[in-house]
């Protein structure tokens, strides 16, 4: 099981003052030193955290794999096509949301999404689609030409922390992982994963990579990025 570290929230703190620290690029380096398998960042339309300059520097410095989260907005797709990260993860994006609230609706936006997958794949970028663990979304994802899906684990995470019946949500992820793999897709997962809830997801056979941001960066405030990433790696491995 691999770990991708999302470093957006280091930039969120910096942007609170529109200054130069803390530096998300340094967080990426520390995460890699601790042994993570990829660095994830989301260049949002409103640039609320990661900036164009951060992306440029990450492209130059990341030694593992740079996974850029990309909305299907033409400006952002164009930047991704010019930057050529190792991987692009297509995500839905709403201006007022606090975080990515759900998966991409590949069924509803099929033609546009297929076009973006083709554009980015044509540049040699591996493309992943961030979707809800749902059979129709999996089917449509495969038909876009994308080779990877990342399941949104938010519903499981919310149920877990609310003390509700999270087993049902876990079963959905287990079953949808099997379905996606049978269709030849690589399966990743992420969103809302924490030190407390990660083990059950990390135990699912067939998921290859977890992408985690907020919880790791939160812990890093007290322990440092290196220790926070190491501890998460130990939990998922």
Nearer to ligand PXP, 71 or 83 (CB): 71
Contact assessment for residue 19 and residue 51, using Cβ atoms and an 8 Å cutoff = no
- Could you write out the DSSP letters of every residue in 89-154? EE----TT-SS--S---TTTTHHHHHHHHHHHHHTT-EEEEEE-S-HHHHHHHHHHT--EEEEE-H
The only residue of 32, 69, 132, 209 in contact with ligand PXP, by rule CB under 6 A: 69
Nearer to ligand PXP, 27 or 212 (CB): 212
CA 181 to chain centroid, in Å, comes to 19
The only residue of 33, 94, 99, 101 in contact with ligand PXP, by rule CB under 6 A: 99
In the residue annotation, 191 being an active-site residue is answered as: yes
> Shortest Cβ distance from residue 43 to ligand PXP (Å)?
11
In the residue annotation, 42 being an active-site residue is answered as: yes
Region class of 184: left (phi > 0), else alpha (psi between -120 and 50), else beta: left
In the residue annotation, 234 being an active-site residue is answered as: no
Site string for ligand PXP, 8-27 (x = CB under 6 A): x-------------------
Interior CA angle at 140 toward 139 and 145, to 5°?
A: 105
* Touching ligand PXP, residues 77-96 (CB under 6 A): 89, 91
Give the footprint of ligand PXP on this chain (CB under 6 A): 6, 8, 42, 69, 89, 91, 99-100, 130, 150, 190-193, 211-215
**Enzyme catalytic residues:** 42, 69, 191
């Amino acid at each position: 099981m691999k770990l991708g570290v999302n470093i957006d929230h280091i930039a969120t703190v910096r942007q609170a003052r529109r200054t130069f620290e803390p530096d998300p690029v340094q967080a990426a380096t520390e995460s890699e030193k601790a042994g993570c398998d990829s660095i994830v960042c989301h260049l949002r339309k409103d640039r609320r955290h990661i900036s164009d300059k951060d992306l440029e520097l990450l492209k130059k410095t990341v030694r593992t794999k740079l996974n850029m989260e990309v909305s299907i907005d033409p400006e952002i797709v164009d930047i991704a096509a010019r930057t050529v990260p190792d991987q692009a993860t297509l995500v839905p994006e709403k201006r007022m949301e606090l975080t990515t609230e759900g998966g991409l609706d590949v069924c509803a936006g099929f033609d546009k999404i297929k076009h973006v997958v083709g554009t980015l794949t044509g540049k040699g970028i591996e493309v992943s689609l961030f979707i809800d663990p749902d059979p129709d979304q999996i089917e449509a994802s495969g038909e876009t030409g994308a080779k990877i899906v990342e399941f949104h684990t938010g519903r499981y995470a919310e149920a877990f922390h609310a003390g509700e019946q999270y087993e049902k949500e876990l079963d959905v992820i287990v079953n949808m992982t099997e379905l996606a793999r049978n269709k030849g897709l690589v399966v990743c997962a992420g969103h809302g994963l924490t030190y407390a809830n990660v083990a059950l997801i990390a135990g699912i056979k067939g998921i290859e990579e977890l992408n985690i941001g907020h919880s790791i960066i939160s812990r890093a405030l007290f322990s440092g990025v290196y220790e926070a990433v190491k501890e998460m790696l130990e939990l998922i491995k």
